[in-house]
A and B are shown apart, each in its own frame.
Chain A
């Protein structure tokens, strides 16, 4: 499975868009990009996933570059409750059993 690289930490002002980058330059054609987040002392929370088209749901948007070597998770109007560690995970959709492999993630701090 492709490895991912994320910045260790980022800050964002409350009410502004938070753009979290993820590099996955060795991604293969059948691998999806998944995003999870973990708020302090809680279980991880699924956010969104995609293959090559941009995706949007009620929580966030996922923008994947045309060459699929990087992606950006966008939280359009960040709130203090969005402060969390965000994990970008690359996995084959119909591969082995659904075992997530979490990297170190990006610690996003949303500030008033």
Chain B
């Protein structure tokens, strides 16, 4: 298996809802990432997990809560989001936990907050 999968592909949620995004890889990669991409902008890093531990949080608001239950799975829990949080949320993984910029991305979840 040489891909990163993300579910769901599309998500519409209200500002009071709680939802979760899921990311999975079975390549034995030791680092996993969440990026956010607004329309017509490049992706921006949100979180990095190395060996299932959170190693980078790019000052992301607490309404976004990441979780790495095991080395293959990464979740992003969403609560009380704002309309400006509407974006494409990308998950990525890389073979090495540190110093590796060879990352493999999933197709993303397109989130709309109403």
Listed in ascending order, the chain A residues whose CB lies under 8 Å from chain B are 32, 34, 38, 41-46, 49, 87, 89, 91-95, 97-105
When A and B form their complex, what is the total count of cross-chain residue pairs whose Cβ atoms lie within 8 Å?
70
Q: A93 to B101, alpha carbons, bound, how many Å?
A: 7
Among candidates A38, A41, A91, residue contacting B101 with C-beta atoms closer than 8 Å: A91
Q: A87 to B92, alpha carbons, bound, how many Å?
A: 16
> Are A43 and B42 closer than 8 Å at their CB atoms?
no
> Are B48 and A43 closer than 8 Å at their CB atoms?
no
Given known contacts A42-B107, A45-B105, A105 and B98 CB-to-CB distance under 8 angstroms? no
> Are B101 and A34 closer than 8 Å at their CB atoms?
yes
Given known contacts A43-B107, A104-B42, A89 and B101 CB-to-CB distance under 8 angstroms? yes
* Tally of B interface residues using CB under 8 Å: 30
Q: Which of B39-74 contact A (CB under 8 A)?
A: 42-45, 48, 50, 55-56, 58
> Are B55 and A105 closer than 8 Å at their CB atoms?
no
Residues of A within 8 Å of B92, CB to CB, are 43-44
**Is B102 in the interface zone, CB < 8 Å from A?**
yes
Residues of B within 8 Å of A93, CB to CB, are 99, 101
> Are A97 and B101 closer than 8 Å at their CB atoms?
no
Residues of B within 8 Å of A95, CB to CB, are 99
Look across to chain A and name the residue whose beta carbon is closest to the beta carbon of B58. Answer: A99
> Are B94 and A98 closer than 8 Å at their CB atoms?
yes
Residues of A within 8 Å of B108, CB to CB, are 41-43
Among candidates A42, A97, A103, residue contacting B42 with C-beta atoms closer than 8 Å: A103
> Are A87 and B56 closer than 8 Å at their CB atoms?
no
Q: A38 to B44, alpha carbons, bound, how many Å?
A: 14
Among candidates B56, B96, B106, residue contacting A99 with C-beta atoms closer than 8 Å: B56
> Are B43 and A98 closer than 8 Å at their CB atoms?
no
Q: List 15 A-B contacts (CB under 8 A).
A: A32-B101, A38-B43, A42-B108, A43-B108, A44-B103, A94-B98, A97-B56, A98-B33, A98-B48, A98-B99, A98-B103, A99-B33, A99-B56, A99-B58, A104-B42
